[in-house]
Amino acid sequence: MFLNIRILFVTLLFSTATFAQQTETEIEKDTTQEASGSGTKVGSVTVGAYLPIAFGENFVNDGMDLKMGAQVQLKLNVLGDFYIGPAVSFFFADVTNRNLVGNYDEMSNLVLGGLIGYEKQVERFDLSIGLGVGYSGYFNKGFGDSFEDNATALWLRPEVSYKLANYVSIYVAPELRHDFMNIDVPSELKDTFGGVNYFNVGFGLRINLGTGYKFQ
Amino acid sequence: MKPYLYKFLLFSVVLLFSSCEKLEITNNERLLVKGKIVDQNGNAIPNIPIKTEASNYILAKTRTDDNGNFELTSLNANTDPLHVLVNIATSLYFENENTEYASKVYSSEGANKQLLLDMGTVTLNGLGTFSIFLKNLPGDTNTVEYTFSYASKVCRLPLEFNSNDVCEFDQSTQDFLEVNSQNRTISGESILGTVAIFEYKLNNEPKQTIEIPVTNPPVNYVFEY
């Protein structure tokens, strides 16, 4: 867990530093941009729904009914078309097989992490692929007490966005994610509690940051 | 009337909160509890409830299948003892669910540290009764001081699984019979195959012990003094 938080902080620090540099450069280049008709692409913010779909033999897929959640992601272009940024997502679930997972009722999953990736614009489309890592918390609630399971999440996230206006796009992003669970179990339960596979789908609104999006 | 009502309400609230124990479930941990339940003849017993419990909260529950086997994933308690309940209907009063058989309650000494609770084959004996008639013979001037002890229908055991489950004698009654005491019968329900212990001192002489078998159908014993 501490490793995940450290990774997150390093990512955020790096993102902030880069963003600050980008802003300074933007002011200097503003006149040039107007003249040349290009501009600076600072990055984007995506906010949208998050549809979790677990698969394989694991306690989430076999013992829970997953509900929709949401995700927020900030992409900051750092080197040409390469970007980094923080990402947050969450979703909810009801326990359906207490015999398999234990006697509790609900679970909320929260992922805090960072993403690194590459994005390319093709006419009104922005196509990107990113690799993310972060802390994944499973917050469980039952009759007697609340308790937590946690994991290190690793995910691959291709994204396609379509520009509706200069600074506004819609996006869809399928996501392949694996949570390496930190749950202590006897060897007989390793397959069920060792890790969880997801094929998640995110979709929603994207705000494009920077004048570079205006002229293309 | 009103002061009594307030006192009653206050007492109820205090009682309510004092009876609620706080359960702390261990983060990032699951236990596997498995085994097989058979009767005293080795026959599998289906549909017997198996539960894990701490601080009166059920952490996991299942039932034995047609072959008497069970397997369940359980949460674990962080600080409180863990109990594995076999054939218990309500954990609050420890009542047998299947009334044909005894029940067993396995308890950890402190917080449980084992991830695998493999109970192996657990034998649930049937239930039987014991009965002894204490008869005061007319003309005799004897007195009897006695203690009667036996295992209840719920067998309490440590959370260590082996085939030698020896149930505690957790029920007892004692009395002093005077010269002119009335005849009486002492009887009760216990685990088939065990014995009830009748310890007595006749006229304050050294203690004597009689073992009364728990049987089904019951056998009535007579003790004359």
Highest mean pLDDT among A2-6, A176-180, B177-181: A176-180
Q: How far is B147 from chain A (nearest CA, A)?
A: 41
Q: How far is B32 from A188, CA to CA, in rounded Å? A: 8
Q: How far is B18 from A148, CA to CA, in rounded Å? A: 27
Pairwise CB contact (< 8 Å): B31 & A149: no
Task: Work out the angle at residue A146's Cα, subtended by the Cα atoms of residues A144 and A147, and round it to the nearest 5 degrees.
Answer: 125
B69 touches chain A (CB under 8 A): no
* pLDDT digit string, tens, across residues B119-134: 999 999 999 999 999 9
Q: How far is A175 from A159, CA to CA, in rounded Å? A: 9
Strand order across the B57-63 sheet: B57-63, B49-54, B81-86, B103-111, B154-158
* pLDDT digit string, tens, across residues B56-110: 899 999 999 999 999 999 999 988 999 999 999 976 677 889 999 999 999 998 8
Query: Three-state SS for B106?
Result: strand
Q: For residue A3, what are its two tokens?
A: 């490793």
Q: Which of A197, A129, A188, A138 is nearest to A161 (CA)?
A: A129
A180 touches chain B (CB under 8 A): no
Q: For residue B89, what are its two tokens?
A: 């209907």
Q: What is the per-residue pLDDT for A13? A: 42
Does residue A90 contact residue A51 with C-beta atoms inside 8 Å? no
Residue from B73, B91, B115 whose CB has the most chain A CBs within 10 Å, to mutate: B73
Residue from A147, A149, A150, A152 whose CB has the most chain B CBs within 10 Å, to mutate: A147
* pLDDT digit string, tens, across residues A115-139: 999 999 998 999 999 999 999 999 9
What integer best gives the mean pLDDT of chain A? 86
Q: What residues of chain B lie within 8 A of the CB of A184, using their CB?
A: 28-30, 115
Query: Three-state SS for B2?
Result: helix
Query: Three-state SS for B115?
Result: coil
Q: How far is B160 from chain A (nearest CA, A)?
A: 17
Q: What residues of chain A lie within 8 A of the CB of B75, using their CB?
A: 102-104, 142, 147
Q: How far is B62 from chain A (nearest CA, A)?
A: 6
Q: How far is B63 from B45, CA to CA, in rounded Å? A: 10
What DSSP string describes B59-78?
EEEEE--TTSEEEEEE--BS
Q: Return the beta strands (E) in B39-126 as ranges.
A: 49-54, 57-63, 69-74, 81-86, 103-111, 116-123
Least CB–CB distance from A103: residue in B29, B60, B115: B60
Q: Is the pTM of this model over 0.90?
A: no
pLDDT at position A62 over 90: yes
Q: How far is B155 from B103, CA to CA, in rounded Å? A: 6
The mean per-residue pLDDT over the stretch B10-31 comes to: 71
Q: Return the beta strands (E) in chain A as ranges.
A: 43-51, 54-55, 64-79, 82-95, 106-122, 125-141, 146-163, 168-181, 195-209
Residue from A140, A183, A185, A190 whose CB has the most chain B CBs within 10 Å, to mutate: A185
Q: What residues of chain B lie within 8 A of the CB of A188, using their CB?
A: 32, 116
**What's phi and psi for B102, nearest 5 deg?**
-70, 170
Chain A 97-156, CB below 8 Å of chain B: which residues?
A: 98-104, 142-150
Strand order across the B220-224 sheet: B184-191, B127-135, B220-224
The mean per-residue pLDDT over the stretch A183-198 comes to: 96
